[in-house]
Amino acid sequence: MTRRQSLKLTTAAALSLPAFAADPAPNPLRILILGGTGFTGPHQVRYALSRGHKITLFNRGRRPQEWPAEVEELTGDRDKGDLKSLEGREWDVCIDNPTSVPFWVRDVGKVLAGKVKHYLFISTVSVYADSSKPGRDETTPTVPYEGADAMAETNATLRADFSLYGPLKAASEREAEKQFPGITTVIRPGLIVGPGDDTDRFTYWPVRIAAGGEVLVPPADDPVQIIDARDLAEWTIRLAEQKAFGTFNACGPEKELTMGAMAEGIRTATNSEAKLTHVTTDFLKQQGIAPWGNLPVWVPGQGDSAGFGRTSIAKALSAGLSFRPLATTTKDTLAWFKQLPAERQAKLRAGISPERQTELLKAWHAR
């Protein structure tokens, strides 16, 4: 299947009702989106168009997309410093989706300084230095970069050492404030989920639970935080409309969600007769099952990660962040996944295999 066909399927599965009715914005904006064709970008574009904004995309042009209205598309390569198509242009807002290394922010700042009135940087909760304390908010210290030169780090070095992700995102935030002083908004999402997520980190659970049978699930009381890509995208556009500067955590849902409640919510949404078997953290550790990696979404709710799934979103809620029901995200994610080619559906990109799950359940019941 071509990338264009895949994007069409993603679009079709994503068109559930938005959390907010897409009424025309009071003041249409000229919005530049850096990226725009990945996971959250297309949702931003569609929602912004429905609000009457004029959209320009800047990317390498490798992921063609069809839009419901006119979109200007500029090409360039930030890895190579090719930003010529942005020169001499002005926009009301710039939304920076894909940046993970500081020199990307520095370079775009040199071109757009004085040319935009608002810069929104999509960061991550991985910037926080401490995940042990529940209720970490936007004032919690971020992890320092301890290398020789943050500006010398590239996406290639990041791919080689993913432990740099949090420090480089934090350094990118600081560079954003430097390049766009007083007009920067930093958004720190947690795990972004929903139709179109090629990582399968959340998708694993609807697919596995919908299949029925006995399902191995981490401890029921451990908290989890997820945000539908559409909720994040639409709220980002509303922040631009509000000129809401500052830093915001963007996790979800509004009230604490536990692993047990998420699994049961997915079971109900998929009309599954699956039996959910919750096991302990100690058992999973003994069996060599890693949080987040082997069993996605989940991290232990105690010890060093006690605060990971309990990040405060009070500031974001006061700025209008809202959420689709878990059932909507579940159904739309499953519908999207079922439209993918059979070979893609045959092997999830996250989670344990059915064979490994059978082994673990057998060990759990025999203990």
CA dist., res. 261 & res. 235, Å (int): 25
User: 20-29, 63-72, 242-251, 312-321 — which is least confidently predicted?
Assistant: 20-29
pLDDT at 133 over 80: yes
Cα angle 74, 188, 299; round to 5 = 125
Per DSSP bridges, beta strands 257-258 and 223-224 are antiparallel
pLDDT at 314 over 60: yes
- pLDDT, tens digit (0-9, with 9 covering 90-100), for 9-44: 444 444 444 444 468 888 999 999 999 999 999 999
Residue 359: predicted pLDDT: 98
State whether residue 316 is helix, strand or coil. helix
pLDDT at 272 over 50: yes
What's the alpha-carbon Rg for the chain, to the nearest Å? 21
Q: Which residue has the tokens 């692993």?
A: 259
Average pLDDT over every residue of 294-313: 97
125 conformational bin, left if phi > 0, alpha if psi -120 to 50, beta if neither = alpha
Cβ–Cβ < 8 Å for 141, 132: no
pLDDT at 5 over 60: no
> What would the two tokens of residue 251 be?
């996790």
Name the residue among 351, 209, 207 with its Cα closest to residue 292: 351
CA dist., res. 140 & res. 90, Å (int): 34
How many angstroms separate the Cα of 48 from the Cα of each of 118, 179, 192? 16, 25, 19
Domains of the chain as residue ranges with CATH: 3-366 (3.40.50.720)
Average pLDDT over every residue of 239-255: 97
Residue 12: predicted pLDDT: 42
pLDDT confidence band for 71 (50 / 70 / 90): very high
Instruction: With 0.85 as the threshold, say if the pTM is over it.
Output: yes
- pLDDT, tens digit (0-9, with 9 covering 90-100), for 76-122: 999 999 999 999 999 999 999 999 999 999 999 999 999 999 999 99
Residue 26: predicted pLDDT: 85
Residue 65: predicted pLDDT: 81
pLDDT at 277 over 50: yes
